[in-house]
Amino acid sequence: MNNDVLNENLHQFGLRFRPVVLMLNILFGIYFLVAQIWPLVLCYSIFAFRISRLIIVGRQNPMASKQAIDIVWLVVLIQSLPSVLILGPEAGFHLHVLGTIPMIFANERWGALAKLKRILIIAIYFVICELLLIHVEPLYTMSLNSIHALDSVNILFTLTMLSLMSYYLNLTIAESQRQLVKLANTDPLTGLLNRRSLSELADKETARAHRSKNNLAIVICDIDYFKKLNDNYGHDFGDQVLKCVSQTMKDIRSYEYQCRWGGEEFVLVLPEASQQQAAQLAERLRIKIQSLQIPYEDQPVPVTMTFGVAQMQQDEDWHATLARADAALYEGKESGRNRVIQAE
């Protein structure tokens, strides 16, 4: 999943940066037109046309656009070559290829060897420009001021490209971290907290409740006859029931901690709530769940839940409170299900 995020960010970077590259090519083309360097006018006209097509293709065919990202480094290298041969490396056009190096390292569709080959090609090209072509007389001679101006523009463009790539890679890292945290803390089927993350939060809330002498209540609930639902309608339907129940929990209240404790069992931790308030919430949730009609082959299937509720006492931790709520849940199941039972 992290690779998907990275490649998608590379694609978005390419889409957003192409208009900038197009404008730069047009400006270079105009500059060389004024300077009457006709081979470069032709080259940059072709480059501008190709980039325009890439922009259109990127909007109409995202897959082709993503594939084009893989050859950006080669396109930039080839594009800079005529300028280097005609004006010489002092104009700085070969610097453009340096801006593609982060894209090569970031592309997860390539292995380490493939990346190394591309970097090696860029390094050889750069060495040829800096050490060999520097001694070759350029085909067109421009004034020193013009060469320095072009060099400054190309340095600025390369630094801009490197900065934007760093920005997008930073976004990728941040997004990957958010997704990893979400994966570590939530149940993938329901989107509720998982058992480990709820335990950590419950520890903190217990310490806070004891420190400030506030209430804390726990609700544990269980889908009635869930095994029978799975056996009669299949596991896909069972998953659908779990999702519907979880969404109902999310809808009815947003400021308690909701967790899929395991299987068809859920736990709610309610900071600053008394047992009576927790029982009222559980009753609202029970009624809401009871009203669900989950379709199976165009036939509605009713679902009910049983709830156990307990308030944490000053001399116990949340595990003990949960155990008392679980005992109340067991009592509710023994006495007929589809009810809310408060712990003694």
Which residues are the active-site residues? 264
Q: What value, to the nearest 5°, has the Cα angle with vertex 122 and ends 118 and 124?
A: 115
- The whole-angstrom separation of Cα 15 and Cα 26 is 18
- The whole-angstrom separation of Cα 28 and Cα 24 is 6
**What are the Cα distances from residue 233, in Å, to 210, 264, 296, 301?**
46, 15, 8, 10
- The whole-angstrom separation of Cα 161 and Cα 22 is 14
Residue 85 three-state SS: helix
- The whole-angstrom separation of Cα 82 and Cα 28 is 13
- The whole-angstrom separation of Cα 178 and Cα 59 is 28
Residue 193 three-state SS: strand
Q: From 249, 222, 223, 203, select the one nearest 308 (Cα to Cα).
A: 222
49 C-beta neighbours (distance < 10 Å), count: 12
* Strands 299-302 and 293-296, bridge-based pairing: antiparallel
DSSP bridge partners of 186? 193
